[in-house]
Structure 1
Amino acid sequence: MRLHRVPARTGWLWVKLGLRTFFKQPLALAGLFFMFMLLVTVLSMVPLLGQALALALLPAATLGLMAATRIAAAGQFPMPAVLASAFQAGRERARAMLVLGMIYAAGSLLIMGLTLLLTGGAPTPLVDPASVPAPGTAPSPEDLVLNPEAINRMMIGVLLHIPLGLLFWHAPALVHWHGVSPLKSLFFSALACWTNKAALLVYFLGWGVVFFGVSLLLVLLGGLVGGPQFIGMLLFPVAMLMSAIFFTSLYFTFRDSFETDEGQPPA
């Protein structure tokens, strides 16, 4: 395995590859993402340990989506079993993935606690409860006043999650495809992200442009067809669909950042 430095423009290529690959197998890749979200949601509802279990599963589930992308990019149809790819590569790598998941869960829970400590107090609803209209009445955009405390807490949480995200960006794939130990995978993931930081910046900016464009199109369609009600009806499925496409692009950020002697991650 070797670290591969890529030019900044590769970030936009990753965005385009994610879009192109998703639309090769849209039903399969969207369905796998929805299964992934459903599993995480159901696990998070388990009393006491549910949230920790859901967080611990995220690295393995992300690897499953990356494996599905790899299959779709080769022109094949990814089956649902691909989501369990992390646990189909032998006992040693499955154990390493579980360790990676536990580290991620511990880090995420630590960040959640630190966020509450820094912002002081219990979680605050994003929408100010005092602004919500009475039951049976339709809320207007002016009614939904965003709570500044909740926005502040959310922004701090996002900032604290950035280092954790960089540590785990490539880690599941390194464990699964290259047999790297969990701790070393975190180091190499962070190193690869730093080495290709210009490409990653272009990648995130590119996705920002795509998400903004889709949002603008949704607003325009809402104005032409059904107003705020139409936008509200489509907002969640469109957000889920765009998230599925974003996850499809993750594989390419890994593929071009690391290579074997053959230039590709091993099967």
Structure 2
Amino acid sequence: MNNIPAKSGWLWVKQGFAMLRQQPTGLSTLFFGYMLATAVLIVLAPIGIIAHSILMPVFAIGFMSAAREIIAQRPVLPAQVLAGFRGPALRRLCTLGVVHLLAFIAAVGIGLLFIDFDVWEKLMAEPQTATPELLRATGMIPGVLAGAALYVPTLLIVSFAAPLVQWQGMAPGKALFYSFFAIKRTAGAFCVFAVSLFAIAFFVLQLLGALLGMGPIGFAVMRMVSVLLYGVAHCALYVAYVQIFSPSDQDQDAPAVL
């Protein structure tokens, strides 16, 4: 592992957006394909929702493979979103997905512990009575924060473990181990990375909500932008992966950074 300064977190974000500028059509098509695939899975609730959670690392490899192609100055094709489904690593990636699913369930369970369901039922029955005080009384805000405190780090660890499984042939447990300690060792950079992405996403989505409203069109546009930001985040994670880990023999054709 290489030593990474905290400012690298912002550079990863910038390089993620630089990839989008380099190949906007290819990446946008890939993001649209991912959005269609996830929409189909979500419609098949609850099995589809569970499958989507388990397949999260597999789709992450699709985004990171696109980043790999851009760094190597090759075109990104829509089929790149399925890169994680090809090859012998699929089962191991799905094992990472099970860890992601369990973390999500645990995060939801922790969040529900903070909810006052009597106040929540009243709010749902009479939504027009919603006030900031009533929303605080539901306990939703501390519940979301508590759940996020577990889920977000786990999501980051699982996402960062995916390329170790795919391109360095690690077993899921070993990949999670290396991912955890890589993130711990470069915690400053990952904190800057996470805060920067959250700030960008919050600002952009708030702006879109103010301009387009919260109707069907507004939600559709915000959904597309959210998927785009999700993909850019994984492109940035690929840059972090290359900087932190020396590429294996399977990954020698990937240049270090843009």
Return closer, same or farther for 1:218/1:146 CA change in 2, 3 Å cut-off: farther
Q: What is the Cα deviation at residue 129 of structure 1?
A: 5.7
Deviates more, 1:113-122 or 1:189-198: 113-122
Scaled by the length of structure 1, what TM-score is found?
0.77
Tell whether the 8 Å contact from 1:115 to 1:156 is kept in structure 2 after alignment: yes
Alpha-carbon contact 1:128-1:147 (below 8 Å) kept: no
- 2:163 matches 1:173: yes
1:30 corresponding residue in structure 2? 28
Contact 1:128 1:146 in 2 (8 A): no
Equivalence for 1:11: 9
Greater CA drift, 40-49 or 144-153: 144-153
Distance in 2 (alpha carbons) for counterparts of 1:249 and 1:129: 43
TM-score (norm 2): 0.79
Contact 1:41 1:54 (8 Å CA) reproduced: no
Aligned counterpart for 1:189 among listed residues 164, 179, 187? 179
| Equivalent AA in structure 1 for residue 180 of structure 2 | A
Q: Does the CA contact (< 8 Å) of 1:24 and 1:75 recur in 2?
A: no
d(CA) in 2 for partners of 1:68, 1:235: 23
Greater shift after overlay, 190-199 or 243-252?
243-252
User: What do residues 97-141 of structure 1 show as CA deviations (whole Å, max 9, x unaligned)?
Assistant: 12222232233223323332453659x69x8663449xxxxxxxx
Which amino acid counterpart does residue 6 of structure 2 have in structure 1?
A: A
Structure 2 gap segments, 5+ residues each: none
Match of 2:59 in 1: 61
Rg larger in structure: 1
1:202 aligns with 192
Cα distance in 2 between the residues matched to 1:204 and 1:57: 22
Contact 2:64 2:237 in 1 (8 A): yes
234, 239, 242: which is aligned to 2:229? 242
Structure 2: which amino acid aligns with 1:147? L
2:95 corresponds to which letter in structure 1? V
Describe the shift of the 1:129–1:236 C-alpha distance in structure 2 as closer, same or farther (beyond 3 A).
farther
The CA RMSD over aligned residues, in Å, is: 3.5
5+ unaligned residues in a row in structure 1: which ranges? 134-141
How many residues are aligned here?
248
Once the 2 structures are TM-superposed, how far is the Cα of residue 182 of structure 1 from its aligned partner?
0.4
- Are residues 162 and 210 of structure 1, via their aligned partners in 2, closer, same or farther at CA, if it must alter by over 3 Å? closer
2:20–2:232 contact (8 Å) kept in structure 1: yes
1:225-260 CA deviation, whole Å, 9 max, x = no partner? x8999x947544444443333333221121111113
Return the offset for 1:144: 9.5
| 2:132 maps to 1:130 | no
**Contact 2:16-2:236 within 8 A present in 1 as well:** yes
Residue 137 of structure 1: aligned partner: none
Letter in 1 for 2:167: W
CA contact (8 A) 2:9 2:191 kept: yes
Matched, 1:114 2:80: no
How far 1:213 moved relative to its partner? 5.6
* Shift in alpha-carbon separation, 1:68–1:152, aligned structure 2, 3 A: same
2:194 partner letter: F
